[in-house]
Amino acid sequence: MGTVGLPGCKRILLLLSHSGREKRLTAQPSALRPLGSRRAAGGCCPPCPALLCPARPSAGARPPPPSQREESGDKSARCLQCPTAGGGAGRTPFPSVPRGRSRNCVQSGSGRAAMGHVAGLAALPASAVLLLLLRCATAASLAPRGCEPGPNERPIVGILSQECHFDEFHKFGSSYIAASYVKFLESAGARIVPIRLNLSDEEYDRIFHSINGVLFPGGGVDLKTSEYSRVAKIFYRKALEANDKGDYFPVWGTCLGHELLTYLTSGEILLVNTKTNGFSLPLNFTSAAKRSRLFKNLPNDLLHAFANEPLTSNFHVWSISMENFTKNEKLYNFYNILTTNIDNEVEFISTMEAYKYPIYGVQWHPEKNSFEWKNSSGIPHSSSAIRAAHYIADFFINEARKSLHRFPSEGEETKELIYNYTPTYTGTFSSFQQVYFFD
């Protein structure tokens, strides 16, 4: 008896006689179902490399109009942890989040058709059956990554570079990415592609359709005139268009990136000056946070730590105030306010997520807790601070796993990864321990 394992199918048993002639062939009706496909009524047809997986998870429900919101971030929304709202100790955990939909391969045929395939195989000589199985196995190995079961287990995230605005950086290159952002996302199981400046629109389009999410980092360039802002606008618009078509693509903005998101959405600079450079702060959760995608899976002990301990690094002198946010209809209808902070009686938005799109912004720096050490007074390194940072990284990379974008070939993928670049130690003259520089 010979046994052949076919990738993506159940085992097919070939019972051969001593003379080498076929005695009988048996298979379950669903034996030829591609790996990861949902069970159809009776089975499906054999796998084929031409079968693609166009299904995309939905981008989420449309945002409710302001009249239907339940304290979704307006100025009257009560915080879960503030002097007037009663504290966060002893709060019950946020409800568990349902697992996302799996992307399944296209399948066709009925149980009768599948049995017909098996019956046809039984009529062939054993040598022909073996040859057919080998060809089928080869076809399965060439199937696109999108047909793998469940989420994308090989996420690649793009990090946008920015102009070197520090004098000490100019001798190393014209643009940079702080290595802490790279390590932050890599720690959650992602690989990184640096998005360099001054590329063509065609190159940015190719990169967009090859990566599974994008991060706009903090920095110090101009939100209106910088190349950083121009390129971010390209990816922001492509993300909106893709998600509108059911092509899941998450966007994350940190500090300057968070401020940039408010500018890209509203078309206005609505920032106010705050003295929040070099401080770690607890978060004031709004009542909308417990229903948010970002925080509804937050363990109760970590929620309490976020709300009562200074776990978030703040290195910014500009903020989007609650007042300016709520007055701007575009921002108010697009983003859900999840946390705020207060500086000198100015309440500003510290965490937000879009209602309809997987777009997230934080005014604070989750990447610094684990990977930056220069400004120790403003960066928490406690076990709770590290857990908080890991929670954020894990969340965003799980969002990236929902994207089915991929590079056309392994060679193109390898050429774009950040492994092709070497970080420079900058801890002696900058706030970053290491930096990637680009020409």
Q: Say which DSSP state 243 is in.
A: H
How far is the C-alpha of 266 from the C-alpha of 392, rounded, in Å?
Answer: 25
Catalytic residue among 258, 304, 316, 365: 365
Would you call 147 a catalytic residue per the annotation? no
Strands of the 434-438 sheet, one edge to the other: 162-163, 175-178, 434-438, 424-425
Q: Say which DSSP state 86 is in.
A: T
The answer to whether the beta carbons of residues 290 and 80 sit under 8 Å apart is yes
Catalytic residue among 117, 255, 258, 304: 255
Please state the φ and ψ torsions of residue 125, each to the nearest 5 degrees. -60, 155
How many C-beta neighbours within 10 Å does residue 138 have?
11
End-to-end distance of the chain based on CA atoms, in angstroms?
62
Would you call 258 a catalytic residue per the annotation? no
Residues 6 or more apart in contact with residue 273 via CB below 8 angstroms: 317, 318
Burial of 3 (0-12, 13-18, 19+ CB in 10 A): exposed
The number of residues in the chain equals 439
- Calculate the dihedral angle through the C-alpha atoms of 69, 74, 79, 84, rounding to the nearest 10 degrees: -120
β-pair type (335-343, 346-354): antiparallel
Instruction: Write a three-state SS string for 367-411.
Output: CHHHHCCCCHHHCCCCHHHHHHHHHHHHHHHHHHCCCCCCCCCHH
| Active site residue ranges | 255, 365
